[in-house]
Amino acid sequence: MATPSTPLKYTAVVVGAGPGGYPCAIRLAQLGVKTLCIEREYWGGVCLNVGCIPSKALITAGKRLEGLGELATMGIEIPDGPRTVDMEKLQAWKSSVVNKLTGGVRTLLKANKADTLVGQATFTGPKTLTVKTADGDVDVQAEHLVIATGSRPVEIPGFSTDDPRVLDSTKALALTKVPGRLVVIGGGYIGMEMGQMLAKLGSKVTIVEFMGSVLPGFDPEVVKLMTRKLKRQKITLFTKTRAKGWEEGDDGAIVTIQTPKGEQTLNADAILVTVGRRPNSEGLAPTGVAMERGFVTIDKQCKTNVPGVYAIGDVAGGMMLAHKATHEGEICAEVIAGHKAFNDARNVPAVVFTDPEIATAGLMEHQARDKGFTVKVGKVPYAAIGRAITTGHTEGFFKTILDAKDNRILGVTICGDHASDLISEASLAIEMDAEALDVGLTIHPHPTLGEGLMESAKAALGQAIHVVNR
């Protein structure tokens, strides 16, 4: 093991092994660059360990449990009786999913001949750092430094997650008991995903959102559909409402909220705070990188203002999504290796694993109009798609937005079953600068949900077959 007097020297050092950092390190090594990847806690980052992957595992469990109640309509009878969830077994299964993936990260790094180091990195200069490891401090020098330190949940005054009753997304994903009553502060995508999942597992859920609706910024038709869904799921929703604080009562927590109608209190066994994420950018001052609102400023090659220093993923701002971080990581590796690579992606698709799922690529309808486009819109309900009817999940719609000037696809919004699996075709179409007929005249297999995207592209042109054209 090296000592502070004999620093480790690498061509490239990546700090952080999340969905941006570890792909960057792997690609660097593939390109023949001597690379070290440093991680303090989670190989695979928040996403694989306490974010995207474990949350989707639990969301799947919730859907499967709810699906049991739908079987009777198909003539499949299940004996009456309470349906219970063994949370400890569920958590064990979730952990097995996580372990398979996180173990794979280190295996891939090693297989590609990227070195790894476990410890807390402290930046001491633009390209120097000290790593506190279990065996002592290790000094590291880099010709190229990649900052991939990610983000963490935002805390709000009066709701410290140090208290057992107050949860952030990490603590909520590790619950071994379903809270009888749950107050979710924040109706964005994380709050909606977690709130609906825990409601399916048996929690009585109340969502408190400061803005005028859940999912601020999403297509108003999506918001309307999701609001109706919450009512059917018996999830209570407060909008234009601020959470002021909480105190311990005789029967759990008492949460005080300020609603448009005045102050109210809510009883809860647990409080889940999901009001956004903030970059892990503390301690970057010695690197000299420029920052804005805590995010590192980068260009299309992931370069900062300091030569040889780069940033990728959540810490660099933009859409805080794992696949965006991965894309930046691979671009960054190509740049360090001397290739003429740039991040010129036309869109970053986004998925929300609510019920029903929501997925977007490119511009949503209101965004396109706000940017001054004259648009054509094709909307096709899931109920018009044969495959959706056979699954019993006909809630939702496909929406394709075109530039009326030349019929090029500006964006696609899908709200419905398997939206997460369907959006990639739309993302490819936008990257290829496709016209509506490029999708509309592509033969889609029948019966599949993918026909909905084809049909919505045709509907935008007034050529749909299975819905009445507007």
Residues annotated as catalytic (active site), given as ranges: 446
What phi and psi values does residue 153 have, to the nearest 5 degrees?
-65, 145
Pair of tokens at residue 167: 């949860």
The verdict on whether omega for the bond into residue 356 sits within 30 degrees of 0, i.e. cis, is yes
Taking CA atoms, 248 is separated from 20, 175, 252, in Å, by: 41, 20, 6
Number of Cβ atoms within 10 Å of the Cβ of 246: 23
- Residue 352: what residue type? V
Rounded-to-integer distance, Cα 353 and Cα 182, Å:
19
Q: Residue 420 and residue 199: Cα distance in Å, rounded?
A: 21
| Residue 304 DSSP code | -
State the Cα–Cα distance between residues 79 and 74, nearest whole angstrom.
15
Do residues 21 and 37 touch, judged by C-beta distance below 8 A? yes
Structure tokens at 80: 């009456």
Question: Quick one: CA torsion of 49, 52, 53, 58, rounded to 10 degrees?
Answer: 110
CB 413 within 8 A of CB 219: yes
